[in-house]
């Protein structure tokens, strides 16, 4: 075997191992990489789809209840998602500092899987998983549970996904992935003006 043939065989072997590794990683239930630059396909300045979802306390929330009153920040998350766990603290900090200015912040769990999904469990998300997320990561309330239909209405592209809705019920901004407190505050400032 000449040198060129050996290099080709080695390249093909490495490529096969990479493909097998990626396939195995995808099947294991590990979360996707951070998608910090992904912009959702939902139309900016379009009407935000309404929803009716229940909180842990059983209270029903809808987006329309805030129309013409408050801007709303929606945070779509999954309890198992490490990026969501990081974002929860950032979002709570920003939500708390804008509460008196009228910003309403609503978290929506949009994954059917519970907190052990990253370790290979396909168990459904439970109320205990949501409580765990709330307590463990100092998330804001309310946290609502979506069966996936609201995530589809908002063209959920990855976790976490933040959607900012102005007082008129129009989508002002949306982004999937972790967002810094300063970047999030800059977008919120625009709708609070």
Q: Mean pLDDT lowest for which of 24-28, 123-127, 150-154?
A: 24-28
Give the integer Cα–Cα distance in Å for 164 and 174: 6
Give the integer Cα–Cα distance in Å for 179 and 181: 7
Give the domain extent around 21.
1-30
Q: Taking 70 as the threshold, does the pLDDT of residue 34 lie above it?
A: no
Q: Mean pLDDT, to the nearest integer, of 112-117?
A: 95
pTM of the model: 0.78
Q: Indicate which CATH number applies to the domain containing 181.
A: 3.40.30.10
**144 Cα distance to chain centroid:** 13
Read off the pLDDT band of 193 (50, 70, 90).
confident
CB 61 within 8 A of CB 145: no
Name the more confident of 78 and 18: 78
Q: Are residues 116 and 150 in the same domain?
A: yes
Q: Are residues 23 and 36 in the same domain?
A: no
Strands (E), 49-178: 52-54, 60-62, 72-77, 104-109, 143-145, 161-165, 171-176
Reduced to 3 states (helix: H, G, I; strand: E, B; else coil), residue 143 is strand
Q: Taking 60 as the threshold, does the pLDDT of residue 50 lie above it?
A: yes
Q: Mean pLDDT lowest for which of 4-18, 29-43, 109-123?
A: 29-43
Read off the pLDDT band of 45 (50, 70, 90).
confident
Q: Mean pLDDT, to the nearest integer, of 75-97?
A: 97
pLDDT of residue 82: 96
β-strand pairing of 104-109 with 143-145: parallel
Q: Mean pLDDT, to the nearest integer, of 65-72?
A: 96
Q: Mean pLDDT, to the nearest integer, of 25-31?
A: 36
Give the integer Cα–Cα distance in Å for 129 and 125: 6
pLDDT of residue 43: 73
Give the integer Cα–Cα distance in Å for 149 and 112: 11
Q: Are residues 130 and 36 in the same domain?
A: yes
Q: Are residues 124 and 113 in the same domain?
A: yes
Q: What percent of the chain has pLDDT over 70?
A: 78
Q: Taking 90 as the threshold, does the pLDDT of residue 67 lie above it?
A: yes
Q: Are residues 8 and 45 in the same domain?
A: no
Q: Are residues 22 and 84 in the same domain?
A: no
pLDDT of residue 39: 45
Q: Are residues 113 and 148 in the same domain?
A: yes
Give the integer Cα–Cα distance in Å for 115 and 144: 16
User: pLDDT digit string (tens) for 145-175?
Assistant: 998 899 999 999 899 999 999 999 999 999 9
pLDDT of residue 27: 34
Number of domains in the chain: 2
Q: Are residues 179 and 112 in the same domain?
A: yes
Q: Are residues 5 and 71 in the same domain?
A: no
pLDDT of residue 100: 95
């Amino acid at each position: 075997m000449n040198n060129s043939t050996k290099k080709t065989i080695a390249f093909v072997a490495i490529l096969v191992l990479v493909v097998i590794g990626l396939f195995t990683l995808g099947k294991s239930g590990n979360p996707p990489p951070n998608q910090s630059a992904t912009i959702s396909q939902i139309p900016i300045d379009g009407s935000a789809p309404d929803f009716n979802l229940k909180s842990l306390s059983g209270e029903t929330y809808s987006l329309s209840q805030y129309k013409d009153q408050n801007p709303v920040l929606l945070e779509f998350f999954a309890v198992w998602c490490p990026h969501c766990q990081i974002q929860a603290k950032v979002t709570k900090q920003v939500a708390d500092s804008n509460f008196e200015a009228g910003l309403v912040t609503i978290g929506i769990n949009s994954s059917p899987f519970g907190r052990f999904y990253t370790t290979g469990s396909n168990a459904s998300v439970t109320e205990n998983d949501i409580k765990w997320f709330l307590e463990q990561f100092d998330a804001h309330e309310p946290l609502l549970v979506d069966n996936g239909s609201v995530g589809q209405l908002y063209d959920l592209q990855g976790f976490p996904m933040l959607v900012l809705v102005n007082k008129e019920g129009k989508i002002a901004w949306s982004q999937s992935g972790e967002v810094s407190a300063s970047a999030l505050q800059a977008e919120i400032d625009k709708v609070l003006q």
